[in-house]
Structure 1
């Protein structure tokens, strides 16, 4: 085994995180990542286009040992799959060079609940998983030319989720190494070129499979299965499987001073992160429209990459998160961000305004609203940092508000409050089964 390569260094780093006392700021952020994940998975499980997954996996339910977002009990493998997919279904889940929370938390929570782990165990596992995801996705980030053909972030989801699923019970370097080797063989390939075609599939990031693959990797490794040795190292390192044209491991280690989970951004809108800042600026301009004035049209301007999001045709519900004309129309129509944004009746009611949203190609990012009296409201759009999205997303208080707004109608006010309390404020020694009990209905 290589003892000075990236595989060895990653194992040592994750073992050190798991064995250390985490700073309170890190623990608090991990709790909010968990809460936001639960928000998105509980809401996502109610969507019509996610229901086929819950139906199709019924024969795979197995031993009822863990809790899925629809309130039922299923095997850890099935639970991880369903909760991972439903968390990403609205594209409302957290972001950091991809969507780390959906696969990482779904896998770690399922394995942790099955094993009788505590909230503290899960928090540590989440931090390990996010650190792994960031380091691998950042180090294998492709050049700009290559990035237009390959979207390799999600290739690391299974490895990162498997580290989290292992760390929730045992984060020894030896065990993590076995799990990593198996997880490498379970990972999905990137498909960026097809990802931008319509319709967008409900499993667009395959977060469900990556979460389930992590559970499978842990169980296989613990049963003695042999995987790929030193999977990150050498000229055929895992970055090649990710479709990248470069591997910048040493540079990534040098720049990663604070725990990666502190970089995570929480979404304000159920939309791709590429459009979040445009929508935030639009929301700000909408508040300045004089009373009695109507919108004539909306102009969204930005670099060439924005054209991928200019499509007005919605051929499937998952398309909504990637259509800035539709997203802008929904926001301007006052539709509350959440499940209503993919409801057919809501989309039909905003069709007229959608047709009046134009997307143009300019170097300057901006949003302009023209009113019926020809008055214009215009603002520039700051460029979000995809490697450090936290400052551009929700605050932790807003994450809690998002949970209250979306989950209370599903579970009821009291169970929702109990679930939020158990995640954010309860003692870390609480069993995960006590937390997920609030989801059962």
Structure 2
């Protein structure tokens, strides 16, 4: 605007009169803008106001209806009070009789389940055992928290007794059926893809037994040979997974403990590679035959299977690493193999506990840092003291004109950084 005024008036005072027409133009422009602003604001305000008014009317209508309904309810309650007083003494005995009937029905149902479980266990009808024991769990859950203390105690005792009896009966059958199907598919010649497509009754039997173990998951304590020594970072295993991984646990302890040739401190890759193979091989089988059962206890079978084997590695490392503190080379080699193992495992299985807890223990981490520093300094000294360290190994053209001469030491350092 000022530029326009200077252009019209210039340096001559007589040109001030020319501003009258300019003032008229500006005034008209301002008036037009004000009208536009007022119209826009007014139209939006009217729309908002209309909606608010409509909402307020609805709220008022609902309040009126609610008040009328409240009056009706109060009137009905007042009118019905004499009837309630007359009927309540009659209703109370009926409710009490219904509760007694329900009590006796549940008691008889518990006795029937007890008989059915005895018969199913005798016939080794594993599907029927699973169905009846699940029914017993459901009845106990219904009664839990009620005032029927005697019935609760009876059902709880019955459930605990049958949980122990069933577990003692089926655990050997579980071991037998695992042998029959060739689990964990290490020494079998049967292709694993055929296992996922089979209709063999042995696999149906395996599923039935696994279903029973899933039902017993929080009911019984596992056998001593199914108890795993796991670090605090790895949560406990389910009962069916303890039995599935029991053969692998035995194999691991046999080959990688004591005076076995495979238990070599200088070759941690032996057990790390073996565990990697065990983690990968049965994935299709776990998805097809195990996961449908594990869905009932909300557990991912592949993740828990890997976690169990991971626990073997962590316990083994906790024992072996302190024995390598005096040998920098073997300690460094073990660290390299551990990091490669974890990297490889995480490519196939996610959300697993990290072996870093073992590596970052106070003494192990201190030893690791000292070893890294020692080898880094040695490597640097070797590179810098080479006779050809400062000789050019290649020419690199820069900006199409300048040529940079890359020395051998610079090239080697670059390769190290990009590993």
TMscore range, shorter length? under 0.3
Q: With the length of structure 2 as denominator, give the TM-score of the two structures.
A: 0.19
Greater Cα radius of gyration, structure 1 or 2: 2
Structure (1/2) with the larger helix percentage: 2
Higher relative contact order (CA 8 A, sep 6+): 1
Q: With the length of structure 1 as denominator, give the TM-score of the two structures.
A: 0.19
